[in-house]
A = this chain, B = another copy of it.
Amino acid sequence: MQIPVRIVLVETTHPGNIGAAARAMKTMGLYDLALVRPRCAFPSDEATARATGATDILENARVYDSLPEAIADCGFVVGTSARERAVEWPTLPPRDCAAQVLDALDAGNRAAIVFGPEKYGLTNEALARCAVHVRIPTNPEFSSLNLAMAVQLLCYELRLAALDRARADERGETSGTEPQPSRVRPRLATVAELDHFYDHLDRVLVESGFLRADHQRQLRLKLRRIFQRAALDKNEVDILRGVLTSLEPSRYRVERSES
Which A positions have Cβ atoms within 8 angstroms of B?
1, 20, 23-24, 26-29, 52-54, 88, 91, 93, 95, 136-139, 142-146, 148-149, 152-153, 156, 159-160, 163, 183-186, 204-205, 208-210, 219, 222-223, 225-227, 229-233, 235-236, 239-240, 242-243, 246-247, 249-258
B residues near A227, Cβ cutoff 8 Å: 226, 230
Number of identical protomers: 2
B249 adjacent to A247 (CB under 8 Å) = yes
A210 nearest CB across to chain B (Å): 4
> Complex: how many Å from CA A163 to CA B137?
9
> Complex: how many Å from CA A204 to CA B258?
18
Q: Which of B95, B138, B148, B239 contacts A223 (CB 8 A)?
A: B239
Closest 5 CB pairs of A and B: A210-B246, A208-B246, A252-B252, A230-B230, A88-B185
Q: Which of B1, B143, B249 contacts A27 (CB 8 A)?
A: B143
A229 adjacent to B226 (CB under 8 Å) = no
B138 adjacent to A28 (CB under 8 Å) = yes
A144 adjacent to B53 (CB under 8 Å) = yes
> Complex: how many Å from CA A146 to CA B246?
47
| Pairs A–B under 8 Å by Cβ, sample size 17 | A27-B138, A27-B142, A29-B139, A52-B144, A54-B144, A88-B183, A88-B233, A152-B153, A153-B153, A208-B246, A209-B246, A210-B242, A210-B246, A222-B236, A251-B258, A252-B256, A253-B255
> Complex: how many Å from CA A137 to CA B1?
12
B residues near A27, Cβ cutoff 8 Å: 138-139, 142-145, 149
With A91-B183, A144-B53 as contacts: A204 and B247 at CB distance below 8 Å: yes
With A137-B163, A160-B137 as contacts: A53 and B142 at CB distance below 8 Å: yes
With A152-B149, A230-B226 as contacts: A247 and B88 at CB distance below 8 Å: no
A257 adjacent to B247 (CB under 8 Å) = no
Q: Which of B185, B186, B210, B226 contacts A232 (CB 8 A)?
A: B226
Q: Which of B143, B152, B223, B229 contacts A152 (CB 8 A)?
A: B152
